[in-house]
Amino acid sequence: MPDVVASAAPRASLGEPLLQVRDVSKHYPARGDALLKAGGVVRAVDDVSFTLHRGETLGIVGESGCGKSTLARVLLRLVEPTGGQALFGDTDIFQLSRREMRRHRRRMQIVFQDPFASLNPRMTVAQIIREPWAIFPDALPRREWSDRIAELLTRVGLGPDDGHRYPHQFSGGQRQRIGIARALALNPEIVVCDEPVSALDVSIQAQVINLLEEIQEEFGLSYIFIAHDLSVVRHISDRVAVMYLGKIVEIGTWQQIYDHPAHPYTQALLSAAPAIDPAERRDRVILQGEVPSPINPPSGCRFRTRCHMAEAVCANEAPELSGDPTQRAVACHFADSDRGMDAPIQANSA
């Protein structure tokens, strides 16, 4: 098998740090009487740290309930964090007042998963796109609005006159394009994409992925790209963080994560993804059981209840995300051992 990975040129070195996320947590009071009385909390996001560099795409993968979407919402302060810092330059986003936060939103936008629910059905597409300009009068002079709307619509692959129509008159893929045009309206620096293609048909997914890549280059955007589809994340990301039960268990470049996964959860996750090409199939690790509740997560390492490598230490001590979170880091007590770790993928060819 040709070594396709090695021949693919990795992207030039990382840009300057743009967003530094430090020990961010979001805990919700647990629902249900008994748990509430016991003071139970849902640790949706627990001490998450990473750095997003200018111009890069940081992919975040994990299964449902691992905290990906909560993390996205916390970073935009659509929900308030329980703790931690998010430094955009010298500013901690979490310390901004309501008013300051509104100004800050110009620099950070979000594209949601559900193109149906995320657009106001009573507004025309033009109204949806220009809404932020009304909030920020200095963003764009009013006389330029209609030209800019036509320009944005064309850029995302819609017709320049589509501004007169309503969201329900568009297909799912087209609605996602409207959501992208809206996110671009204020020239943001960071766009958080929360499962932007998972509601779309395969053929439409590919169109939207291409569009996101094109506008990233054109507008100099940095992406936090959240998705559960591993092949989509590999395609679009420069670096990838893997989450499990509210924590990042491993972070690294896409090559490190996909070609040399070091955390047993990353290894199992990658091996579970069905592949079209027999050469891309990995030896499948079938995990036992399912993700435990985030209300009383397992002591020590949260993955230990399903981990084939777990030992006594795993129940007693939570492994730290070793190393520098701008570089490769792994939260496993045995990440450096040679017990099957850091093994290149086994293509079960022949």
Residues that bind other proteins (CB under 8 A): 4-5, 8-9, 63-64, 171, 173-174, 201-207, 209-210, 213, 228, 230-232, 234-236, 254, 258, 268-269, 271-278, 280-281, 284, 286-287, 289-291
Tokens representing 115?
Answer: 């193109």
Q: Select 107 or 260, whichever has its Cβ closest to other proteins.
A: 260
In the complex, the smallest distance separating the C-beta of residue 112 from other proteins, rounded to whole angstroms, is: 19
Question: How many Å apart are CA 14 and CA 114, to the nearest integer?
Answer: 31
Q: Select 165 or 234, whichever has its Cβ closest to other proteins.
A: 234
In the complex, the smallest distance separating the C-beta of residue 288 from other proteins, rounded to whole angstroms, is: 9
User: 245: left (phi > 0), else alpha (psi -120 to 50), else beta?
Assistant: left
Q: Select 41 or 287, whichever has its Cβ closest to other proteins.
A: 287
In the complex, the smallest distance separating the C-beta of residue 274 from other proteins, rounded to whole angstroms, is: 3
Q: Select 92 or 259, whichever has its Cβ closest to other proteins.
A: 259
In the complex, the smallest distance separating the C-beta of residue 82 from other proteins, rounded to whole angstroms, is: 25
Question: How many Å apart are CA 350 and CA 236, to the nearest integer?
Answer: 30
Q: Which helix (H) or strand (E) holds 42?
A: strand 41-53
Q: Select 2 or 121, whichever has its Cβ closest to other proteins.
A: 2
CB 251 within 8 A of CB 325: yes
**Neighbouring C-alpha atoms within 13 Å toward the C-beta of 58:** 31
**Radius of gyration of the CA atoms of the chain, in A:** 21
In the complex, the smallest distance separating the C-beta of residue 200 from other proteins, rounded to whole angstroms, is: 9
In the complex, the smallest distance separating the C-beta of residue 50 from other proteins, rounded to whole angstroms, is: 21
Residue type, 296: N
Q: Which phi and psi angles does 131 have, rounded to 5°?
A: -50, -50
Question: How many Å apart are CA 134 and CA 255, to the nearest integer?
Answer: 43
SS3 249: strand
Q: Select 75 or 249, whichever has its Cβ closest to other proteins.
A: 249
In the complex, the smallest distance separating the C-beta of residue 232 from other proteins, rounded to whole angstroms, is: 6
Q: Select 75 or 212, whichever has its Cβ closest to other proteins.
A: 212
User: Looking at residue 38, what DSSP letter applies?
Assistant: T
Question: How many Å apart are CA 341 and CA 170, to the nearest integer?
Answer: 48
